[in-house]
Amino acid sequence: MNKVRHISQDKHEHQSLNANSDVAKSLQTLLDKTYACYLITHNYHFNVTGENFYTIHTLLEDQYNSLFTAIDEIGERARTLGEPVQILSGKYLEEVSEASKRSLNPKNMSPCQAMLKDLIIFNTECIEACQSTKSIAAEYGDDETEDLAIGRIRAHEKMIWMLRSSVSP
Ligand SMILES: [Fe+2]
């Protein structure tokens, strides 16, 4: 009887370790995407120009501050699950750098419009990463991570709404 309980306990602990590691891996991707979104938003806050300069400059300040807070929350959730966290891999830094170069000299639209459209793409990619984290967390019954992912989806949807409403028709 003791042996059976012992095996079952081991199995449970093993499953729990896998769960933490799988959920944390998806949190790492979400962290990378959110960091990339933070960097590009801050970059465009600096570089935006045009007649709506101050409105967009201020909107982007609100958004990069909110993204920075989220980065901490996502990284600390992965650490709570016992997994290490890495800040932004090289692949994402290149994406940010390429996008910001493109938006400073866009074809057929103003730099401000190009930046807003780019930010919608970066935020949409964050939502996709959140949805993946949400599914993996739900699969393992990790309600707290699922809740975090749902909150992040809500935040990105709101950012996209504000960005979209600022794009010229
Ligand atoms: Fe600023």
Q: What is the pLDDT along the chain (169 residues), one digit of tens a residue?
A: 455 545 556 656 655 768 889 999 999 999 999 999 999 999 999 999 988 999 999 999 999 999 999 999 999 999 999 999 998 767 788 888 888 888 888 888 899 999 999 999 999 999 999 999 999 999 999 999 999 999 999 999 999 999 999 998 7
Distance of CA 9 from the midpoint of ligand 1 (Å): 53
Contact 39/94 with Cβ under 8 angstroms? no
Report residue 34 as tokens: 């959110």
Between the CA of 149 and the centroid of ligand 1 the distance, in Å, is 28
Q: What is the pLDDT of residue 12?
A: 61
Model pLDDT, residue 94:
86
Q: Which domains does the chain have, with CATH numbers?
A: 2-166 (1.20.1260.10)
CA atoms within 13 A on the CB side of 148: 26
* CB-side neighbour CA atoms (13 Å) of 152: 33
Single pTM value for the model: 0.88
How close is the Cα of 168 to the center of ligand 1, in Å? 23
* Cα 42 to ligand 1 centre (Å): 8
**How far away, in angstroms, is 41 Cα from ligand 1 center?**
11
Cα–Cα–Cα angle for 85, 80, 95, rounded to 5 degrees:
30
pLDDT for 128: 98
Residue 11 Cα to ligand 1 middle (Å): 51
Residue 48: predicted pLDDT:
95
